[in-house]
C-alpha cells in the first residue's frame, strides 16, 4: 500500500539538492559528512516536506492501603494533539474474565488473547506476544535483542526471574573503540554499527519460558508472528516517526533500508503503509522448526556473525554457542502491606524501585495531592537518592559486588528519608552517573484467570538499535554495548562476556499472596520512576490502573526535575522556589510507557495501556 507519492517525489528532488550542497546532519550545519570508514551518525529522518541526506556507511572489512474498587473501563475520549502527534487519552483499557493483556501494540495483544482462547496459559501468550512484537515493533525489541521476564505461577505461587539480557563478546573491551577527550566514543561506534552489537538473548529466553512453563508447542506459538512477517503489519504514526528519527542509520545499511524504506522512493514509510519482512519470516520458521540450536549454533548464528564481522565487529560463533540465560529469584520487598517482586541484577530497576518505595513509606503520601508541589518535591528527592546509589554500586553481579541487601533495607530507607528537606531540593551524589541508555524498549503484562502473572520488558536498545540488519535474516541487531560505561573505574565498564547494567523493570505486586498488579515500561532510567509512581498512585491514592497510567508523570535522576506540562503554573513556581531545576518541555512524555494489568479483590481483571505510544489492553 502506497501513500503520499507526490510528497515522496518532491522529497527525492530535495534530497538530491541537499546532497549537492553537502548537507547531511541533523542540525543542518555545513560540517563535512563522516568519512566512508566512519560509523554513521544517528541523523533525523526525512518528513514529507523535507529530507535528510543519507549518512555514510562504514566500509565492510571484506567484500562487500485499601483495596482499589473495581472500575469499568474508561470511555474513549477525544484525541489530544501534542507536537504533531496524536495522544489518545481514553479507550485503551480493558476488562477480562479469563485473561487480560496490556502490550505496546494492539496486534501483538490480540495474538496473546487468541493464544489464551486456544487453551494456552499466560506464559504461552507471553512468548507469542514477544515474537510478534519483534515483527511489528522491531525498532524497539526483537530476536536481535534481549530482556527480562518475571513470572508468577498461579498453581504454586512461585515467582521466578528470567534474565535473557544480551552479553558482550569474549573479545569485547574498551580498546575496540576510540574514546575521545570528552568521554564520548569516536564516530559513535558503541551505538551505530557492528561494534555496538552483543550476543542476543531473546530467542533462548522466550523458548526457555515456553518449554519450561508453557503448555503449547513452539510452532503454534510462533505461527502468528511468522504470518505477520509474511503478510505485513500496518505502520502506525509512532512507527513512522521512529523510522524518520533513525533514517540516518537505516539508510546507511542496505539490508536495513530494504525493509524499512519504501523501495520505490527510498523514503520512510508513512502511517497506513504496510511493511513486510520475508527474511524474518523465514528466520522465524527455522526457529519454530529447529529451536534455539539453529539460532545459537546453526545457520542463523553464522549469518549474524558474518554480517557483524563484515562491518568490523568482534562477535564469533563461539560467543553464540557460549550464551546462557540466568534463571534466578527476583528482588523482593514490600510497600504498605503489598509484596513487590521486580527485576534482579544486571537490571538496577527492581532494586532502585524498591528503594524509592521504601523511602516513600516514611511519608504520608496518601495525604498529598498527586499534582502538588509537595508531592513532586518528595518524589524528586526519593528518586535522586535512589539514583545516587545506582550510579555508585550497580553492575553485572558476576563482575561486581553489589550491596543489594543493604540498599533494600527498611532501616537504610529510614536513614535516606531523613536526608530529605521538605522545603528545599537537595543534591545527593555518590559516584558518577551511568551512561545514557536507550528509551526504545517494549513492555507487556499479562494476568490470567488461574493466577498466572507475566511481565516482560525487552529491547534492542536504541530506536532501530545498531541500524544493522543481519544480511539474509531480517533481524535488526541490538546496540546493547552502548549501555556500558567507557569509564574504566565504573562498575559498569565494558568487559568480555559481561552483561551491561539495565533499567528494565518488569514488576509484580501481590496482596496477601494473591495477584494484584503486573506492570513495567520502556524508557531508560525513566522506567524506574514510571513504575514506582504507578505503584504509589494505585496503593497510596486509590487510583484505578488506567487512571494511574494516564496521570501526570515526572522524573528526576541526577538533579533536573522533568515534569509533564499538565500542572498548574503555581505548582511550577513553587517547585522552582524550593530550588528545583525544572524542565517542562513535553505535555506528555514520549517515555516511559507503562503497560499494566490488575486483579481486583472481586477477581475482575483490568488492563491499562499507556497513551504515550501505541499501547492497547485487551481482555476476554
Q: In the chain, how long is the greatest CA-to-CA distance?
A: 68
Cβ neighbours of residue 540 under 8 Å, at least 6 residues apart? 65, 336, 360, 365, 366
83, three cell numbers: 507536537
**Contact, 150 vs 206, CB < 8 A?**
no
**Distance (Å, rounded) from C-alpha 196 to C-alpha 482?**
6
> How many other CB atoms are there within 10 angstroms of residue 400's CB atom?
17
- Pairwise CA distance, residues 233 & 273, whole Å: 8
Which residues are the active-site residues? 441
Give the C-alpha separation, 521 to 507, whole Å: 10
- Is the distance from CB of 452 to CB of 533 less than 8 angstroms? no
Q: From residue 91, how far is each of 443, 518, 604 by CA, in Å?
A: 19, 20, 18
Q: What letters, b where the CB count within 10 A reaches 16 and e where it falls short, cover 368-396?
A: bebebbbbbbbbbbbbbbbbbbbbbbbbb
Do 279 and 294 contact (CB within 8 A), yes or no? Answer: no
Helices (H) and strands (E) in the chain, counts: 19, 25
C-alpha cell at 132: 510478534
Q: Let me know the angle formed at the C-alpha of 166 by 553 and 498, rounded to the nearest 5 degrees.
A: 105
Amino acid at each position: 500500500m502506497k501513500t503520499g507519492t507526490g510528497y515522496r517525489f518532491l522529497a527525492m528532488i530535495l534530497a538530491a539538492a541537499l546532497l549537492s550542497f553537502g548537507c547531511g546532519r541533523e542540525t543542518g550545519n555545513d560540517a563535512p559528512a563522516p568519512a566512508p570508514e566512519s560509523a554513521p551518525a544517528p541523523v533525523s529522518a526525512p518528513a514529507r516536506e523535507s529530507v535528510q541526506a543519507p549518512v555514510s556507511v562504514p566500509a565492510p572489512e571484506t567484500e562487500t492501603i485499601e483495596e482499589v474498587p473495581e472500575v469499568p473501563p474508561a470511555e474513549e475520549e477525544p484525541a489530544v494533539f501534542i507536537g504533531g502527534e496524536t495522544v489518545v487519552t481514553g479507550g485503551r483499557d480493558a476488562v477480562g474474565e479469563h485473561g487480560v493483556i496490556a502490550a505496546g501494540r494492539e496486534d501483538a495483544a490480540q495474538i496473546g488473547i487468541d493464544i489464551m482462547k486456544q487453551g494456552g496459559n499466560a506464559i504461552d501468550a507471553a512468548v507469542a506476544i514477544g515474537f510478534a512484537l519483534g515483527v511489528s515493533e522491531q525498532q524497539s525489541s526483537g530476536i536481535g535483542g534481549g530482556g527480562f521476564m518475571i513470572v508468577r505461577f498461579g498453581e504454586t505461587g512461585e515467582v521466578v526471574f528470567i534474565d535473557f539480557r544480551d552479553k558482550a563478546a569474549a573479545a569485547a573491551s574498551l580498546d575496540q573503540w576510540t574514546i575521545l577527550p570528552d568521554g564520548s566514543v569516536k564516530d559513535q561506534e558503541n551505538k551505530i554499527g557492528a561494534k555496538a552489537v552483543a550476543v542476543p538473548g531473546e530467542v533462548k529466553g522466550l523458548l526457555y519460558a515456553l518449554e519450561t512453563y508453557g503448555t503449547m508447542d513452539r510452532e503454534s506459538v510462533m505461527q502468528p508472528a511468522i504470518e505477520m512477517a509474511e503478510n505485513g503489519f500496518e505502520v502506525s504514526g509512532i512507527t513512522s516517526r521512529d523510522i524518520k528519527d533513525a533514517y540516518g542509520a537505516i539508510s546507511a545499511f542496505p539490508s536495513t533500508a530494504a525493509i524499512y524504506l519504501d523501495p520505490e522512493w527510498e523514503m520512510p514509510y508513512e502511517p497506513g503503509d504496510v511493511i513486510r519482512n520475508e527474511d524474518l519470516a523465514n528466520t522465524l520458521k527455522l526457529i519454530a522448526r529447529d529451536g534455539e540450536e539453529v539460532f545459537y549454533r546453526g545457520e542463523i548464528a553464522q549469518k549474524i556473525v558474518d554480517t557483524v564481522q563484515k562491518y568490523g565487529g568482534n562477535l564469533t560463533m563461539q560467543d553464540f554457542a557460549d550464551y546462557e540465560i540466568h534463571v534466578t529469584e527476583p528482588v523482593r520487598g514490600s510497600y504498605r502491606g503489598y509484596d513487590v517482586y521486580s527485576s534482579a541484577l544486571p537490571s538496577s530497576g527492581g532494586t532502585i524501585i524498591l528503594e524509592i518505595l521504601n523511602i516513600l513509606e516514611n511519608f504520608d503520601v496518601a495525604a498529598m495531592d498527586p499534582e502538588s508541589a509537595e508531592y513532586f518535591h518528595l518524589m524528586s528527592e526519593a528518586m535522586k537518592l535512589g539514583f545516587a546509589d545506582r550510579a555508585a554500586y550497580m553492575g553485572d553481579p558476576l563482575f561486581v559486588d553489589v550491596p543489594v541487601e543493604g540498599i533494600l533495607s527498611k532501616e537504610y530507607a529510614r536513614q535516606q528519608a531523613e536526608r530529605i528537606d521538605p522545603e528545599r531540593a537537595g543534591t545527593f551524589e555518590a559516584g558518577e552517573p551511568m551512561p545514557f541508555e536507550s528509551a526504545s524498549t517494549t513492555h507487556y503484562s499479562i494476568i490470567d484467570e488461574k493466577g498466572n502473572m507475566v511481565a516482560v520488558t525487552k529491547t534492542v536498545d536504541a530506536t532501530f538499535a545498531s541500524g544493522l540488519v543481519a544480511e539474509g535474516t531480517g533481524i535488526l541487531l541490538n546496540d546493547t554495548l552502548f549501555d556500558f560505561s567507557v569509564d574504566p573505574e565504573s562498575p559498569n565498564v565494558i568487559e568480555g562476556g559481561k552483561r551491561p547494567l539495565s533499567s528494565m523493570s518488569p514488576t509484580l505486586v501481590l496482596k496477601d499472596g494473591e495477584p494484584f498488579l503486573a506492570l513495567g515500561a520502556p524508557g531508560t532510567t525513566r522506567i524506574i520512576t514510571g513504575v514506582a509512581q504507578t505503584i504509589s498512585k494505585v496503593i497510596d491514592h486509590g487510583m484505578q490502573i488506567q487512571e494511574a497510567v494516564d496521570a501526570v508523570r515526572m522524573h528526576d535522576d541526577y538533579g533536573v526535575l522533568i515534569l509533564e506540562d499538565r500542572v498548574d503554573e503555581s505548582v511550577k513556581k513553587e517547585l522552582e522556589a524550593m530550588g528545583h531545576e525544572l524542565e517542562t518541555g513535553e505535555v506528555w512524555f514520549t517515555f516511559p510507557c507503562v503497560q499494566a494489568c490488575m486483579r481486583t479483590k472481586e477477581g475482575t481483571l483490568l488492563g491499562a495501556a499507556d497513551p504515550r505510544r501505541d499501547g492497547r489492553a485487551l481482555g476476554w
